[in-house]
Amino acid sequence: MARTAGRSLELLSLLQAADRWSGPALAARLGVSVRTLGRDIDTLRELGYPVHASGGRDSTYRLGAGSRLPPLVLDGEQAVAVSLALQTSPTSVLGLREAAERALATLARVMPAPLRAQVDATRVTTIRNVWEFSAPPIAPDVLSAVGDAVRRSHVLRHDVLRPDGSRPEPHDPDFRPPLRVEPHHLALWAGRWYLVAFDLDRRAWAVFRVDRIHPLSPTGQPFVRRSLPGGDVARFVRSSPDRGDTPAAWQCLGRAVLELPADVVARWAPGGSVIERVDGGRTCITVGAWSWAGIAGILATFDVDLTDVQPAELRAACHTLASRFRTT
């Protein structure tokens, strides 16, 4: 019985490692007959693994998706990788921290001693503070609805929430009709989820904060996927000034106008900064830090002239740093 169980686990590992196997090749790898292989395939099916066969003596086998989650088999490297990922996962989705801790405990209980020792040797204490992820956590059902529309290539209808998470009513001055977009990509940057989509009303590409999206009923309307300008999702998100961002909750918050185009400022600004076009060659940036000198240092990295620096504390910090640098 133990040998049969071990062979079933080895068979499952082989099916997970390749898209398709021929029956004779699988039997040879396991050192059994084709008939015994068939019984082992039936055992996996009884456990809930959907193994599909092409039929005939020279059947090919592949592992498909089922209707429920069966037990998983991980090799040593996969188990360690999953353990580290669970320990360091961000809390940008509401309620997943507790689920990650339960999954980590489950994994640790069934690990062989050598693997558990390897994981214990890389035990991580993740230190977070209230400003690290300045966006509010996203409800799993919102992320699921948006992700499903991306996966299915279905038009998404959604309202845009206020920064405080409230939903404007039709009589409110900031009310907007529901948007219709073709959702193409989800991206996670600086603890914030973004949706890259083609806005069907504006006929233009746009970036939306997912925590500001209120999905409406699924449309079921398919669309043909478009080519993203530049082809690089990360670069597109970083270089898009209008991402729906609001200033992060920092101890100090300042603003200045830079002699640079908005797409350049957006690409190099810290996550959570607010970027606003002033005109074709100038941009207003609102950014936070632990100190006024920290904001002045961020502004200095752009290496361009500054105007309209606010508030007075930030202007004073800029003058103080300039005096210090002159004496070096």
CB 214 within 8 A of CB 167: yes
Cβ atoms 284, 257 nearer than 8 A: yes
Q: What is the pLDDT of residue 2?
A: 44
Are the beta carbons of 269 and 263 closer than 8 angstroms?
A: no
Dihedral in degrees, nearest 10, Cα atoms 208, 214, 220, 222: -10
How does pLDDT run across 285-323, given as a tens digit for each residue? 999 998 999 999 999 999 999 999 999 999 999 999 998
| Burial status of residue 79 (CB atoms within 10 A of its CB: 0-12, 13-18, 19 or more) | buried
Specify whether the CB–CB gap between 270 and 190 falls below 8 A: yes
Which residue has better confidence, 130 or 68?
Answer: 68
Structure confidence at residue 239 as a pLDDT band (50, 70, 90): confident
Phi-psi region of 123 (alpha: psi -120 to 50; beta: other; left: phi over 0): beta
pTM equals 0.68
Four-CA torsion 259, 261, 262, 263, nearest 10 degrees: -140
Give the pLDDT band (50/70/90) at residue 1: very low
- 262 with 316: CB under 8 angstroms? no
**Beta carbons within 10 angstroms of residue 294's beta carbon:** 17
Q: Which of 91, 205, 218, 208 is nearest to 144 (CA)?
A: 218
Per-residue pLDDT tens for 94-141? 777 777 788 887 777 767 777 777 777 667 666 555 445 556 778 888
Residue 189: pLDDT over 90: no
135-163 pLDDT tens trace = 677 888 898 899 999 999 999 999 999 87
Q: Would you say residue 278 has pLDDT above 80?
A: yes
Domains of the chain: 2-63 (1.10.10.10), 76-121 (no CATH), 140-239 (no CATH), 252-326 (3.30.70.250)
Q: Do residues 212 and 186 make contact, with C-beta atoms less than 8 angstroms apart?
A: no
Rounded Cα gap, residues 77 and 67, in angstroms: 27
